[in-house]
Chain A
Amino acid sequence: MRLQSLRARLLLGLIISTVLLQAGASALVFWLQRQALYHRFDQALFATARALVHHVKVKDDQVWFDFEELSIPEFKRIKGPDYFQVWRGDGSTVARSLTLGAADLAMARPGPRPTRYNCQLPRDEPGRAVLIATEVVPKGPPERRGAPQTALIAVARETEPIRKDLWTLAWILAGTTTGGAVVAATLAWLVVTRTLVPVRELSRQIAAVESTGLGQRIDVPRLPSEVQPVADRLNEMLGRLAVAFERERAFTADVAHELRTPLAGIRSIAEVAASSPQNAGEAAGEFREIVKIAGQMQAMVEKLLMLARLDAGQVRAVLAPVNPRSVLEPLLAEHAARMGARNVTVRDNVPDETSVLADPNLLRMALANVIANAVEYVNDGGQIALETEQTENRTCLVVSNTGCSLKPGDEQKVFERFWRADTSRTGGQSHWGLGLSLVSRAMSVMGGRAVAQIREGGVFRVCLCLQAN
């Protein structure tokens, strides 16, 4: 079974280990107590056996037991719990306690050291015995003394009281183990629940994050150090998302704003024309104006669409060797009249044999925008220069124009959408600050990049860097 919940895992682990620990400790206590009890029991049996040795005598080379002198009352009773029996070396019985009646005690194999063993007592009572073997030396002067005789003495006692004590102990230990396990489980549950409170709080805060309010941050006091990095990473992610959302929001607002102005133009021209009487020539003029504005709006919408497609990765660059001259020449021809009217000179230093690895359509679009930009912003009587720059494995097409009034630091902004140095529309209604954004996106789709530079003397340069062929 896979435990998905951190709490269940922790609880299970804690409870199992507590129960195992308690059971082990109980078993150890039980075993030690049992050993101690049996040890004391055996010591007592052994002491009794030593005492009985003094009653074993030898007379006429025969071992006998001086029952008369026996002063241990327990053996003189008819009923247990204490028993003894004395044998000769050959196994014949010398004497037995009254408690045994006619029955025999079980005998173990005698050894040089006292033997301890469990045995069955006459009334089927479980018992424990100690057997000692002793050499009994006859009394009297050494010359008249006979050979020493072997005697075996076994002393036994019923073990029922010990067993009872051990059972009691076992029950107590089992009880404390079970109770301990319940208490441990309860404590573990409390501790785990309490420990996981910050995690629950974290999840609550994450759930409360809305797509509209990405400004909020996760702030859980006393978050465990293991979970803190999660919250930190989440906050970083929220930060990045907020920036992206804000950019998107600003972009949408810009689009709406940029479309609204020409739309307002169309609407007010049409409304004024409709409400005031005018001749056919005037009406045609109004219509031409409306068509012109609509055309500009269409160009803007197409640029936006192209940007969206580039952003979404819907435009695939098919790279092939392209000679940029084949793209540049028609573009320059397109703007020739306008440049001529403003006395703008073109210095074209792009070598005939230049070849770059590019998508012809994307390169045409990029160059068209860069050149349109240069033509738009070059000063009257200024210069537009076209050249190439070679680096190790890149070829850069550089388009520069004089008459640039941008401030240092504006280089990066020129690629931002809807950025214009002058926010008003006087520069002409066909420029929304989208052209260079398109250039930048198109270049990155082709694996190249666009760089803007502002040089001394008001020279603005855009470098389109592509892989050299």
Chain B
Amino acid sequence: MRVLVIEDYEPIRRSIVKGLTAAGMAVDQTGDGAEGLWYARSNAYDVIILDLMLPKMDGLSVLRKLRADGCRHHILILTARDTVEDRVRGLDAGADDYLVKPFAFDELLARVRALMRRSYGEKSPTIEVGGLRMNTSTQQVWVNDRLVDLSAREYALLEYLVRRAGQVVSRSDIWEHVYDFHSDTTSNVVDVYISYLRRKLEQSGQPPLIHTVRGRGYRLGEAGK
């Protein structure tokens, strides 16, 4: 799941990036509004965390420009402005959520996860596909009630596949949503991680979970779920 953090106060930006990365998200970051707008326009983010007071272009302008472009990213405003008028202005400009500084990091994380569920039209943090069950809040995965131990990268890849279960997901989709801007990942690495996942999830005698669709990509579960 890919997140963009646009925040000019470096200590906050750094700690958010660190925390989100630790939670298995691919995070891009920038300290100014104009660059933030460029990032948001050129990548497919699941969630954008946006400060309001930014150099070069303020957060509300970034938000309005993105919405005017028809951008459907989920945007969370994170700001020190706490009046009702500020919140109303932010939400009415097209934000999906509003969080006031100082904030509890766990709350920010929970709100980001909630926005991600909304991105994929889900309500429950628990997703089940065939014999696979995933809790996106606790980041635990079970196959036929057996808890599977995954690395952060493996989990991130599986979460994206689970969220798009039944659909064919191309390597570039995976690349866009699972790896951040500065990753030195190549699509070959995607194949490597897919093979790691298959090894950990699939057992002999059971039908395969991850299908390879020749020339197009991968599909988790049966088609058209």
Contact = CB atoms under 8 A, between A and B. Distances in A.
Partners in one complex: yes
B104 A425 contact: no
Interface in A266-293: 266-269, 271-273, 275-276, 289, 293
B106 A426 contact: no
Contact of A260 (B15, B31, B32, B101): B101
A423 B53 contact: yes
Interface residues of B, number: 29
B11 A276 contact: no
A265 B14 CA distance: 9
Nearest to A296: B11
A267 B104 CA distance: 7
A260 B86 CA distance: 16
A425 B80 CA distance: 12
Contacts of B14: 269, 289
Contacts of A214: none
Contacts of A269: 11, 14-15
B103 interface: yes
B89 interface: no
A349 interface: no
A119 B222 CA distance: 147
A261 B80 contact: yes
A257 B106 CA distance: 22
Contact of A424 (B11, B54, B105): B54
Nearest to B105: A271
**A contact patch SS:** helix
Nearest to A424: B55
A429 interface: yes
B105 A272 contact: yes
A425 B81 contact: no
Contacts of A273: 15
Interface string B182-221: 0000000000000000000000000000000000000000
A279 to B, nearest CB: 13
A273 B81 CA distance: 25
Contacts of A253: 83
B79 to A, nearest CB: 9
Given A257-B81, A272-B105, A265 B11 contact: yes
Contacts of B11: 262, 265-266, 268-269, 289, 293
A426 B55 CA distance: 7
A273 B22 CA distance: 10
Nearest to B102: A264
Contacts of B71: none
Interface in B88-106: 100-106
B22 A426 contact: no
Nearest to A292: B11
Contacts of B106: 271, 275
Given A265-B12, A289-B11, A424-B54, A272 B103 contact: no
Nearest to A271: B105
B21 to A, nearest CB: 9
B15 A425 contact: no
A268 B16 contact: yes
Contacts of B8: 424-426
A276 B18 contact: yes
Interface string A416-450: 00000011111001000000000000000000000
B184 to A, nearest CB: 22
Contacts of A268: 11-12, 15-16, 19, 102-103, 105, 108
A79 to B, nearest CB: 108
Contacts of B100: 260
B120 interface: no
Interface string A357-386: 000000000000000000000000000000
A265 B10 CA distance: 8
A176 B63 CA distance: 88
Nearest to A423: B53
Contacts of A262: 9, 11
B16 A422 contact: no
A328 interface: no
B12 A272 contact: no
B63 to A, nearest CB: 16
A263 interface: yes
Nearest to A253: B83
Interface in A382-427: 422-426
B97 to A, nearest CB: 16
Contacts of B80: 257, 260-261, 264
Contacts of A265: 9, 11-12, 15
Contacts of B31: 426
Interface in B113-142: none
Given A257-B81, A260-B100, A426-B55, 14 more contacts: A263-B101, A264-B102, A264-B103, A265-B11, A268-B12, A271-B104, A272-B22, A272-B105, A276-B22, A289-B14, A424-B8, A424-B53, A425-B9, A426-B31
The 5 A-B pairs of least Cβ separation, nearest first, read A264-B101, A265-B11, A264-B102, A271-B105, A272-B19
13 contacts: A253-B83, A261-B12, A262-B11, A264-B12, A264-B80, A265-B11, A271-B106, A289-B11, A424-B8, A424-B53, A425-B9, A426-B31, A429-B9
Interface of B: 8-12, 14-16, 18-19, 22, 31-32, 53-55, 58, 80-83, 100-106, 108
